[in-house]
Chains A and B, each alone.
Chain A
Amino acid sequence: DGGITQSPKYLFRKEGQNVTLSCEQNLNHDAMYWYRQDPGQGLRLIYYSQIVNDFQKGDIAEGYSVSREKKESFPLTVTSAQKNPTAFYLCASSISGSEQFFGPGTRLTVL
């Protein structure tokens, strides 16, 4: 089945640690996106990539980093510089010029 997978579903991090969230798609989509969701709020864009080996900052990129070495994969690293990383993280992908499809999300909690 084609789709977007995110792992892990739940992730716990100690303060000062970097963690990497996985996002993989087998839809052959060109574009991929990372969003952050906080309780009672809409989603905010962290980073996006329209082609391999290229990506752009979204509205809240500080404290995050990404890579796009393969079309299928767009991992997100939450660094220790991110002051308040506890949130629900959603990955999405799309064919350029078409609607986005979302993965199931990763819930990150800082202990």
Chain B
Amino acid sequence: GNSVTQMEGPVTLSEEAFLTINCTYTATGYPSLFWYVQYPGEGLQLLLKATKADDKGSNKGFEATYRKETTSFHLEKGSVQVSDSAVYFCALTFYNQGGKLIFGQGTELSVKP
């Protein structure tokens, strides 16, 4: 079946450090890929998305590139801030299958001043 695997957390970084959160997927076909962010006690917010191979999604300094050959969608940011502390979820969907999201387990990021 379809699945998403993320690197385990928690990830602890100092402010202005470089961030990478790994995400790989297993799927039959070519899904759309997403990164969502969840702040404590809140719902999920869409951070970025990519709908086909080699697409790069970007938002608020975060980037991720859809790599079909490695079935990956790693999240990166060049310089993290304390306000980026949150849980990050990688997810996939097939729109012709009801648009159901399949999530990774989430990666907690903690940024220290």
Q: Which of A12-20, A78-86, A91-99 faces chain B? A: A91-99
User: How many residue pairs bridge A and B at CB < 8 Å?
Assistant: 60
B43 and A104 contacting across the interface, CB-CB below 8 Å: yes
Q: Is the interface of A mostly helix, strand, loop or mixed?
A: strand
Residues of B whose CB lies within 8 Å of any CB of A are 4, 34, 36, 41-46, 49, 89, 91, 95, 98-101, 103-106
- Which of chain A's residues have a CB closer than 8 A to the CB of B36? 102
Interface size range on A against B: 20 to 34
A99 and B34 contacting across the interface, CB-CB below 8 Å: yes
Residues of A whose CB lies within 8 Å of any CB of B are 4, 6, 31, 33, 35, 40-45, 48, 50, 56, 58, 90, 92, 94, 96-105
**Complexed CA–CA distance, A6 and B43 (Å):** 10
